[in-house]
Amino acid sequence: MGKRSVIPFGPQHPVLPEPIHLDLVVEDERVIEAIPSIGFIHRGLEGLVKKKDFNTMTYIVERTCGICSFQHGMGYCETLEHIMDVEVPDRAKLLRTIWAELNRMHSHLLWLGLLADGFGYENLFYQCWRIREKVLDLHELTAGARLIFSVNKVGGVLRDIDEDKQKIILNTISEVEKELLVIEKTFFNDYTVQSRLKGVGILTKEKAHELGCVGPFARASGLNVDLRKLNYAGYGMIDLEPITSNDCDSYARCYVRLKEIYQSIDIIRQAISKLPADKTISVPVKGNPNGEFITRLEQPRGEAFYYVKANGTPYLDRMRVRTPTFANVLGLCEMLKNTELADVGLLVLTIDPCISCTER
């Protein structure tokens, strides 16, 4: 038995642009325990709700995260719509679904690129980001910006996707699908990729359930959890089956996320084919919210949780967001036990961490 020592990982580390600190207790080169600490960039979103009008807050809440911004705005708006008893038109629901899935595609492609970068496959990294660029162009075409959509409002959406744009979306996602098939082979079959991912960072199904892991991270451990089955937004009109894997390792996480891009492409196709002819995309909302509500939805990284308490004035009493990374950090620490020190950087990436959202 070797001598135990503690090696700090982060808050600044090359694999992540965001600050998470892990105290790694190591014995020789093997990690025995990981103790996390977060909270380096707290921004006080929960206090800001008392100063800003609830409509203005839509634009602040969606800036919780730069990658999954659309889902944040959507979650906040849906919570308020429940409180205010507003029924959103079907077209707006499906438009939200389309944007949410475009967002998921871009997030997963970004993650695949970062993963490739994490295990040192620079060329694969650039290929993933080249494909992602097409999805970002679709964001700009439909919503007006590449990352922060700002198309949600309480009572619907602000922009419509007309038929020309629908055609462009369908063509582009077909191209993305074709190009993804080429790099998929590398991710699934390449010797170097497999040697870094297979059997590394195992989190069993029982442990994942016990620690409350969410999203693709939990699905890769064999848990069949996908909140899109709760039928929020337009998902009630969409046919989908969660993608899971029973391998429980890093390779399974890569598999689940890559397959989810194809699933998103399928959902976008379904949603576009089901867009109703009625062009109403929002309903007028009168008065101020009064009451409280909890919404849960599936972000690219897993379950996000919104709690809003309103008091009948334009300023909310309380607003809380729990992002998926917060739920997954415990799973990460469990998974890091008994791994090689050299794998820690890659394993932190496999939960798809978004530390800055966690600390909003």
Partner 1 sequence: MGILQYAPQALKNLFLPPVTTSYPFEPATYPEGSRGHVDIDIDNCISCGMCTRACPSNALSVDKMKGTWTINRFDCVACGFCVEKCPKKCLSMVIGYETPNNTKSEAVYQKSPEVLEREAKQRAEIAAKAAAAAKAKAEAAAKAKANANSPSETEPKA
Q: Which residues bind partner 1 (CB under 8 A)?
A: 52-53, 55-57, 59-60, 63, 123-124, 127, 130, 133, 137, 140-141, 144-145, 148, 150, 158-159, 182-183, 185-186, 189-192, 194
Q: Nearest distance from residue 124's CB to partner 1, in Å?
A: 7
By beta-carbon proximity to partner 1, the closer residue of 60 and 98 is 60
Q: Nearest distance from residue 329's CB to partner 1, in Å?
A: 29
Tokens of 157: 């959406």
Q: Nearest distance from residue 182's CB to partner 1, in Å?
A: 6
Q: Nearest distance from residue 241's CB to partner 1, in Å?
A: 28
By beta-carbon proximity to partner 1, the closer residue of 157 and 329 is 157
Tokens of 243: 């993608």
Q: Nearest distance from residue 192's CB to partner 1, in Å?
A: 8
Q: Nearest distance from residue 220's CB to partner 1, in Å?
A: 20
- The closest of 243, 266, 240, 263 to 253, measured between CA atoms, is 243
By beta-carbon proximity to partner 1, the closer residue of 102 and 348 is 102
CA dist., res. 122 & res. 180, Å (int): 17
Max Cα–Cα distance, the chain, nearest Å = 71
* Chain centroid offset of residue 309 CA: 24
Beta pairing partners, 305: 296, 322
By beta-carbon proximity to partner 1, the closer residue of 42 and 126 is 126
- The closest of 242, 193, 241 to 220, measured between CA atoms, is 242
By beta-carbon proximity to partner 1, the closer residue of 79 and 221 is 79
Within 119-162, residue ranges assigned H as helices are 122-143
Tokens of 199: 């059997």
By beta-carbon proximity to partner 1, the closer residue of 161 and 213 is 161
Q: Indicate the Cα dihedral angle 337, 343, 346, 348, nearest 10°.
A: 20
